[in-house]
Structures are given as C-alpha cells and as structure tokens.
Structure 1
Amino acid sequence: MITYQLSKPVEHGGHTYQNLSFRAPETGDLIAAEQFKGQISQTVAMLAMMSDVPLPAFKRVPLRELYQIMELTKDFLGNALATTGD
C-alpha cells in the first residue's frame, strides 16, 4: 500500500479526502478503466479505484499532485495502461 498526503483536502459528497492510500490494482480495475477514452482518463479512473475514492472526488486532485501520485504508483501500474487508450 502506498499513501499520499494531499497538500489541501479534497471534499466531495460530504466526505473529505486528505490522505490517499493506493492498493495494488486488480484485473477488474483495468477492465473498468478501459471504459474511458484517453490515457489520462484511464489512469485517473484506475488511481481512483485503487484508492477507493469516488472518481468525481479524485478529479479534484490538483494536477501537479496527480503527477506526483502517478510517479509514486508507477510500479503498481507498470504497463497496465500502456496497451489501452487511443
């Protein structure tokens, strides 16, 4: 498990998300992520599922922090999304 602390909490649906904990992805996560068009959309969907954070909340993560999260979780993701997308 990998944990990332957001610089500013994200709020959505009455919940506040400050720390995001990412589990290793499962096959079902990849299948669900493929519903989205584009590599970034699929990656964000995958990260939201891996952290059990609703996608609308995860979309509020600042972009600079998304890139940090992607770097932190790259060993989890590996090439999982390299074969998907446009």
Structure 2
Amino acid sequence: MRDYALHRAEASEATGSLALLWTVIRNWRARRAVARLDALDDFLLHDIGVTRTEVRWAAGLPLTVNAALELEEQATRRRRRGQ
C-alpha cells in the first residue's frame, strides 16, 4: 500500500510539472501573437478593438499569464468605461 501511495504522489508531481510547462508554452504562443499586433497600424488596431498601449502592456505580462486573454479583458473594460 505504501508503494502505491508513493508512486501516486510521484506521478501527481510529474503531471503537475508537465501541466505547468504546457501552460507556459501556451502563454508564450499567445504572447507572440499579441506582439505581432504591434506591427499593425493604428487603424487596424482600432478595427480590432484594441489600442497600441494595450497591446504593449499585454506583451509585457509574465509568462504565467495568457497575454491574449488579458488583452481582450483590458479592451473590454476600456469599452465599458466608454473611452
């Protein structure tokens, strides 16, 4: 019984590390996509519904955060405030 519990704990720890790695990779890809938005002109960014300042802010977020989701939430908050 003890061996089973030990093996299960080790497997759980490895799975958690793998999940964290995949999260960082997914967030890195999202950040790369957000960073590409900075190359667009201001008219296209306006059509998309974001500002250049928001794009640069999102591109600077840590890898533990999904930059694309945060950019979307930031733009939504700005629109709700009516700016």
The structure with the greater share of residues assigned to helix is: 2
The structure with the greater share of residues assigned to strand is: 1
TM over 0.5: no
Return the TM-score normalized by structure 1. Answer: 0.29
